Structure 1
Amino acid sequence: MNNINRRQVLRAGSSLAVVTGAALAGGTAEARTVAPFAHGVASGDPLPDSVLLWTRVTPTADAVPGSGRGPQVRVRWEVARDEGFTALVARGDTVTGPDRDHTVKVDVTGLAPDSWYFFRFHWQGATSPVGRTRTAPAPGSPVQRLRFGVVSCANLQAGHFAAYRHLAARDDLDLVVHLGDYLYEYEAQADAVRPHDPPVEITTLEHYRRRHAQYKSDPDLQALHARSPFAVTWDDHESANDAWSGGAENHTEPDEGLWTDRRAASQQAYSEWMPVRYEPGGQLYRRLTFGALAELSMLDLRTYRSEQAAHPFDRGIHDPERTITGEEQLRWLTSGLVTANAQWKFVGNPVMIAPVQFPSTLSTREIAALTELLGPIEGVPYNGDQWDGYTADRAEVFQALRDHGVRDTVFLTGDIHSGWAAELPADPLTYPLNRQSVGTELVCTSVTSDNLDEILGVAPRTASLAVESAIRLANPHIKYLDFDSHGFSVLEVTPAAVRMDWFRLADRTDPASAATVTASALVRAGTQRIARTQEGLQ
């Protein structure tokens, strides 16, 4: 799986010069022929007058990802209104080198709002693949429709990225929202569809750079990055499972070094390899606007959070001193929601915010499977890694929405390898007798990461159905739940409503897998309710 195949080389363009050296994805000693722009191109964080462009260049045979080797080089870039680059609107050059793993990030300004552009990079006669990107509409301008792709949890070892291929084939996406777990830190597994490189659990800067390079070598991910701009945030696996400000469940000191060193390495590699306006030591949470129709607040729920509760009955989950957002980010989020000028307020939310009571009627085997999927629930009312484990922060967000009469707030969420549609009760204890809802939440499935059916070792849509029914019965604000599907979602936004369509892959291990719509949810403007759905939604 570490080979750079012929299709990838051809995609890079016939004019590419090639170098012979170690594999870009794996950094092994075996000689291969690879393209200087073998990791593709990407764009992200579109503003009305600018967009961030990204690529990675391999100038010499030994300058493989994570190696720290290779010269400083100057890379040229171009932006045009047409794919043939006859109508150039911006050009320039920038220097990169081993200090940033030969990645390139350029913030191109002076662009027109609400416009499509094409971009490419050049180095010593080699030309990158052509990318396409789009600026956001001007502030306050009328917008009749937006469409976002919504994805999370893409474990390369568990399958192929057919979900990205299907999104790349669409011509109607203004943005792809990636809600975290873009990659996984785990060591290579013997039964993996595509084993991880490096084969060890990644803990150092070299490791994280190589793992990013491996994921960026996937042709379907490359195709999607080249087709649409991204808005990304991290969850835990970009560093280590169940990460918090001072450590992680999947980090052991001193065997794996200091957590501060590991986190710094993961964040540096993320800043280098992702098309995001973030540099190490800076602030990942940020807000994008799309005219008068929508704002998107992307959260960082790992850097500032308190440690997860020690056990399910820990009263600390209600301690106002414990936080999932950090004080500054919480103020930024609530004030932004309260003062937003756009109609729809979207929150890019790495972990679920809707309260979830896990019913005592579940069997020991079902609870064990849910624990593996969601975290240490032990048949009690919360998953401590979600907002359920930080109820004071959640109450503050809900109170701000309720007290200020904020309408049309939708949390877009990933993390839990399952599809959900939920209302957000103003008072969970009295819902549904008191049906006041302060917003809605739409959770996308995993791209490939294991779901409940895989954990239970059963066929899809069999044993999971009873678990879903039990959870929905105990949580009437949850209107849709699918524990088995892999795929992607498409979000359509209009002044009248927001609609989420969930697409299910036929087979995550098949790179050519088909995808079909299995459910839809509609949130009508001004209601804070899940109004119309398919496949059992109310």
Structure 2
Amino acid sequence: MTDHDQISRRTAVTAVAATAALLPFAGAATAHAQQAGERGRFFRHGIASGDPLPDGVLLWTRVTPTAEATPGSGRGPDTEVGWQVATDQDFASVVAHGSVTASAAADHTVKADVRGLRPATRYYYRFTVDGEHSPVGRTRTAPAIPHSPQGMGGTPTTSAGNVRFGVVSCANWESGYFSAYRHLAARTDLDAVLHLGDYLYEYKSGEFPDFASAVRPHSPAHELLTLADYRTRHGVHKTDPDALAMHAAHPVIAIWDDHEFADNAWSGGAVNHSPDTEGSWAKRMAAAKQAYFEWMPVRPSTAGTTYRRLRFGTLADLHLLDLRSFRDAQAEPGSGAVDDPGRTLTGRAQLDWLKAGLERSDAAWRLVGTSVMVSQVAFGSIPAYLLAPLAELLGVPKEGLAVNTDQWDGYTDDRRELLGHLSDRGIDNTVFLTGDIHMAWANDVPLKAATYPVTAPVATEFVVTSVTSDNVDDFLHVAPHTVSLAGVAAIRAANRHVKWLDMDSHGYGVLDVTAERTQMDFFGISDRTDPNATSELLRSYRTRSGTQRVERADRPVG
């Protein structure tokens, strides 16, 4: 792939305030009944945008042309769908328009890859079928790359002082409501939302969490295996009012992790896949990928993989990784296979692409979206009562925690090569952005963790917690930040490069990038089972340019 191919303190927000501040246009209100009414007959799954460029953005919607044309049904006629992009929410100044055809072959999802727009500019967009308009979406193009051509419409900003992203991962439908999405939708200061994987979960209803803890049931109720299954569950997620609001408010930049396929997926299988009873893994993975590209606002030019690169002016190159399609099977903990140079997490082509992109980047910051944690982690003397929930989260044996082999810890040769590349080539200001493990972390990333801080860090890492998926307090059915504190202390004692760890919160992050520093504000929601959950700042950490170290910040950005 070429760069051209991929385009390279404490605050509480009440639900009422979030709803009131949500959007300055009528088409994406969060009131559930109002929003459902606005979607009308045809646009029951909302609208979305994604993968912003300096001169364009990808638009998405799904059309329901007839009552039987439900997601995954394979039914319904071809339908002409018009689209418009304007500089105002009333569409008095339309700067681009066109049409696409929705068909059953793509589950009646459509995309429009709009170009010729101005950089760093807010736009509004909508779709139309038979005279009925969709809700109005708001999107934003990326800041200009030096010497990039100017497009049409709007007022450009040629030199961005900052770029700001919402950051989320791990949104299990049955585990709770997507309030984190609602709070991100309420913000008007974001350039985009970065989704780091596990946008949905493949489990059958009542498996994770169990029926007693489930807040709302999956559909379909069985485990996802077929194209129709994956399409159906994507469709359910695109009826959630908070997800709809987030997608309508901001462009979303997404990569996948394992649960878009099956738990602990790798190129040839998954922990949660039995060929004897569930058929071909290749067929299942192909079905999951097809549904993902149909239902997510990700450019179809990346079909087959989500690794790609996006540029945000002079401030940041964002390198997005696919760590499921090319990896070898996870090693058995303690087997020694984690250090086998013949095993890979990234695949050779992707690792070479990443190394080359990091080296030639002339942006102030090199951001790497990775679905699993890159930092080395030893688990030390974890109290016995924490072994089971941590093992459940991390996919390691309940009798002991040596290493999480699903993360980069299980593929040490790839990590050694990547971090060595950063060190040898003097590549600074690299920040890994991570999801997956339902905890929040702020880490230095040393070349050799065992000798840190004598061995200097070569990068930093911010890991966001889950939107809803179970974490330690949920597994133990205890109050948050009580019994887990012993585990936090043990992990930090064994890992001096881990500067902060929260095992219990659910929520989201807000990442702000300037030439001088990159800062992550970690937010927690009050109760994942409450659709009106409030949001509170947990901590803020930053890394200053040239330091490769994280430090606590005394206030959030903005």
Same fold, TM-score > 0.5, yes or no: yes
Per the alignment, in what secondary structure is the counterpart of residue 474 of structure 2? helix
Matched with 1:261 is: 283
Matched with 1:29 is: none
Matched with 1:424 is: 445
Give yes or no for the alignment of 1:245 onto 2:267: yes
1:95 pairs, out of 91, 96, 101, with 101
Letter in 2 for 1:299: L
Q: CA deviation at 1:363?
A: 2.7
Contact 1:264 1:280 (C-alpha < 8 Å) held by counterparts: no
Matched with 1:107 is: 113
Alignment of 1:143-222 (within 5 A): 143-189=160-206, 190-191=211-212, 192-222=214-244
- Distance in 1 (alpha carbons) for counterparts of 2:303 and 2:189: 35
Contact 1:346 1:409 (C-alpha < 8 Å) held by counterparts: yes
Larger displacement relative to structure 2 (139-148 or 340-349) = 139-148
Matched with 1:384 is: 405
Cα offsets for 1:237-291 (capped at 9, x unmatched): 0010000000000001121110011001100000100000136853320000001
Give yes or no for the alignment of 1:445 onto 2:465: yes
Matched with 1:43 is: 49
Q: CA deviation at 1:8?
A: 5.1
Give yes or no for the alignment of 1:458 onto 2:478: yes
Letter in 1 for 2:35: R
Matched with 2:306 is: 284
Q: CA deviation at 1:459?
A: 1.0
- Distance in 2 (alpha carbons) for counterparts of 1:382 and 1:343: 33
Letter in 1 for 2:405: G
Alignment of 1:360-509 (within 5 A): 361-376=381-396, 378-434=399-455, 436-509=456-529
1:355 pairs, out of 376, 381, 391, with 376
- Distance in 1 (alpha carbons) for counterparts of 2:56 and 2:384: 53
Q: CA deviation at 1:72?
A: 0.6
Give yes or no for the alignment of 1:329 onto 2:350: yes
- Distance in 2 (alpha carbons) for counterparts of 1:224 and 1:276: 15
Contact 1:271 1:279 (C-alpha < 8 Å) held by counterparts: no
- Distance in 1 (alpha carbons) for counterparts of 2:59 and 2:377: 39
Per the alignment, in what secondary structure is the counterpart of residue 500 of structure 1? strand
Contact 2:266 2:326 (C-alpha < 8 Å) held by counterparts: yes
Q: CA deviation at 1:43?
A: 0.3
Q: CA deviation at 1:47?
A: 0.7
Contact 2:225 2:284 (C-alpha < 8 Å) held by counterparts: yes
Contact 1:447 1:488 (C-alpha < 8 Å) held by counterparts: yes
- Distance in 1 (alpha carbons) for counterparts of 2:33 and 2:101: 24
- Distance in 2 (alpha carbons) for counterparts of 1:185 and 1:214: 13
Letter in 1 for 2:189: D
Contact 2:390 2:472 (C-alpha < 8 Å) held by counterparts: yes
- Distance in 2 (alpha carbons) for counterparts of 1:201 and 1:415: 20
2:67 pairs, out of 61, 64, 74, with 61
Letter in 1 for 2:400: G
Per the alignment, in what secondary structure is the counterpart of residue 278 of structure 2? coil
- Distance in 2 (alpha carbons) for counterparts of 1:282 and 1:205: 15
Give yes or no for the alignment of 1:518 onto 2:538: yes
Cα offsets for 1:391-416 (capped at 9, x unmatched): 00000110110011111100000000
- Distance in 2 (alpha carbons) for counterparts of 1:119 and 1:159: 30
2:333 pairs, out of 289, 312, 319, with 312
By relative contact order (CA 8 Å, sep 6+), the higher-ranking structure is: 2
Contact 1:138 1:291 (C-alpha < 8 Å) held by counterparts: yes
Q: CA deviation at 1:455?
A: 1.1
Q: CA deviation at 1:143?
A: 2.2
Q: CA deviation at 1:368?
A: 1.8
- Distance in 2 (alpha carbons) for counterparts of 1:87 and 1:280: 32
Contact 2:439 2:502 (C-alpha < 8 Å) held by counterparts: yes
- Distance in 1 (alpha carbons) for counterparts of 2:308 and 2:334: 34
**Identity percentage of aligned residues:** 54
Q: CA deviation at 1:364?
A: 2.6
Contact 1:40 1:226 (C-alpha < 8 Å) held by counterparts: yes
- Distance in 1 (alpha carbons) for counterparts of 2:33 and 2:77: 23
- Distance in 1 (alpha carbons) for counterparts of 2:384 and 2:35: 50
Q: CA deviation at 1:184?
A: 0.6
Q: CA deviation at 1:380?
A: 4.0
- Distance in 2 (alpha carbons) for counterparts of 1:254 and 1:50: 46
Contact 2:138 2:250 (C-alpha < 8 Å) held by counterparts: yes
Per the alignment, in what secondary structure is the counterpart of residue 429 of structure 1? helix
Cα distance change of structure 1 residues 240 and 279 upon mapping to structure 2, 3 Å threshold: farther
Q: CA deviation at 1:429?
A: 2.4
Contact 1:234 1:300 (C-alpha < 8 Å) held by counterparts: yes
Letter in 2 for 1:180: G
Q: CA deviation at 1:127?
A: 0.9
Letter in 2 for 1:81: T
1:231 pairs, out of 247, 250, 253, with 253
Contact 1:418 1:444 (C-alpha < 8 Å) held by counterparts: yes
- Distance in 1 (alpha carbons) for counterparts of 2:325 and 2:31: 38
Contact 1:424 1:441 (C-alpha < 8 Å) held by counterparts: yes
Contact 1:501 1:519 (C-alpha < 8 Å) held by counterparts: yes
Contact 2:387 2:401 (C-alpha < 8 Å) held by counterparts: no
Matched with 2:292 is: 270
- Distance in 1 (alpha carbons) for counterparts of 2:123 and 2:142: 12
Contact 1:358 1:379 (C-alpha < 8 Å) held by counterparts: no
Letter in 2 for 1:204: T
Contact 1:12 1:37 (C-alpha < 8 Å) held by counterparts: no
Q: CA deviation at 1:421?
A: 0.4
Cα distance change of structure 1 residues 142 and 406 upon mapping to structure 2, 3 Å threshold: farther
Give yes or no for the alignment of 1:11 onto 2:1: no
Per the alignment, in what secondary structure is the counterpart of residue 283 of structure 2? helix
Cα offsets for 1:44-84 (capped at 9, x unmatched): 00011111000000001111110000001110000000000
Unaligned runs of 5+ in 2: 1-29, 147-157
Pairs aligned (count): 509
Larger displacement relative to structure 2 (374-383 or 485-494) = 374-383
Matched with 1:27 is: none
- Distance in 2 (alpha carbons) for counterparts of 1:279 and 1:139: 21
Contact 2:391 2:401 (C-alpha < 8 Å) held by counterparts: no
Contact 2:309 2:319 (C-alpha < 8 Å) held by counterparts: yes
Contact 1:13 1:128 (C-alpha < 8 Å) held by counterparts: no
- Distance in 1 (alpha carbons) for counterparts of 2:463 and 2:234: 25
Cα distance change of structure 1 residues 51 and 96 upon mapping to structure 2, 3 Å threshold: same
Cα distance change of structure 1 residues 7 and 144 upon mapping to structure 2, 3 Å threshold: closer
Matched with 1:32 is: none
Q: Please give the TM-score of this superposition, normalised by the length of structure 2.
A: 0.89
Contact 2:334 2:402 (C-alpha < 8 Å) held by counterparts: no
Per the alignment, in what secondary structure is the counterpart of residue 507 of structure 1? coil
Contact 2:317 2:365 (C-alpha < 8 Å) held by counterparts: yes
Per the alignment, in what secondary structure is the counterpart of residue 207 of structure 1? helix
Letter in 2 for 1:462: T
Q: Please give the TM-score of this superposition, normalised by the length of structure 1.
A: 0.92
